[in-house]
């Protein structure tokens, strides 16, 4: 059993895709083990995306991520890190496979609807950024 962090980004919430995205996770056999809605401050968004500090899109990305409410979830299941990344599609929606969340709903390389951890170590760190062990069912 594996865990990963999923975020429905401000554009996904704005486009009323919360239900559709959760539906896709559940239809794929993924369990939602924790979930909450919140709005990141600019500083919190910078902390979350600290690995991207110094990249040309860092300012814009952290402005975007703190621009409105997000939904953060802990997903649980076998091979869930890879399965979630597959459901999400490539970072650039133009390269995402048809039927993936980003191919279906994103319209911008930055405003790409969802975030998902990319490896077990980052999943652990990212989950701990938002949830304590007591929050996870
Ligand atoms: P992810 O793991 O697929 O989310 O991709 P990355 O970790 O590489 O990038 C983190 C986030 O930064 C992406 O989901 C996008 O929102 C944003 N991003 C990545 N590359 C670019 C880019 O070239 N330009 C802009 N504006 N945003 C980007």
Q: Residue 93 has which token pair? A: 């929606």
Q: What pLDDT score does 52 carry? A: 97
Chain mean pLDDT for the chain: 98
* Cα 66 to middle of ligand 1, angstroms: 15
Using alpha carbons, list the distances in angstroms from residue 117 to 16, 49, 93, 96: 22, 11, 17, 17
- Backbone region of residue 25 per phi and psi (left: phi > 0; alpha: psi in -120 to 50; beta: other values): alpha
Angle between helices 18-27 and 80-88 (to 10 degrees): 130
pLDDT in tens, 6-43: 999 999 999 999 999 999 999 999 999 999 999 999 99
Q: Say if CB 75 and CB 32 are below 8 A apart.
A: yes
pLDDT in tens, 44-60: 999 999 999 999 999 99
Share of the chain above pLDDT 90, in %: 100
For residue 74, name the pLDDT band (cuts at 50, 70, 90): very high
Which of these is catalytic: 80, 115, 126, 130?
Answer: 115
* Cα 110 to middle of ligand 1, angstroms: 6
* Class for the domain spanning 2-38+70-135: alpha beta
* Active-site residue, 52 included: no
For residue 67, name the pLDDT band (cuts at 50, 70, 90): very high
> What average pLDDT does this structure show over 109-134?
98
Q: What pLDDT score does 99 carry? A: 98
Q: Say if CB 77 and CB 5 are below 8 A apart.
A: no
Share of the chain above pLDDT 70, in %: 100
Q: Residue 65 has which token pair? A: 């991520």
Could you tell which of 52, 85, 110 is best to mutate to test the pocket of ligand 1, judged by most ligand atoms within 8 Å of the CB?
110
Q: What pLDDT score does 116 carry? A: 98
* Cα 112 to middle of ligand 1, angstroms: 8
Query: Of all helices (H) and strands (E), which one includes residue 62?
Result: helix 58-65
Task: Give the ligand 1 atom nearest the CA of 91.
Answer: 3
Q: What pLDDT score does 26 carry? A: 98
């Amino acid at each position: 059993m594996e865990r990963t962090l999923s975020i429905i980004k401000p554009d996904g919430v704005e486009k009323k895709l919360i239900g559709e995205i959760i539906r896709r996770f559940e239809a794929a056999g993924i369990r939602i083990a924790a979930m909450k809605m919140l709005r990141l401050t600019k500083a919190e968004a910078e902390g979350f995306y600290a690995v991207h500090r110094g990249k040309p899109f860092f300012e814009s990305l952290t402005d975007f991520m703190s621009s409105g409410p997000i939904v953060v979830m802990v997903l649980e299941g076998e091979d869930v890190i890879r399965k979630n990344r597959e459901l999400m599609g490539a970072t650039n929606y133009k390269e995402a496979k048809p039927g993936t969340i980003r191919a279906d709903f994103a319209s911008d390389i930055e405003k790409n609807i969802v975030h998902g951890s990319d490896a077990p170590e980052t999943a652990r760190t990212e989950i701990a950024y938002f949830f304590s062990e007591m929050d996870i069912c």
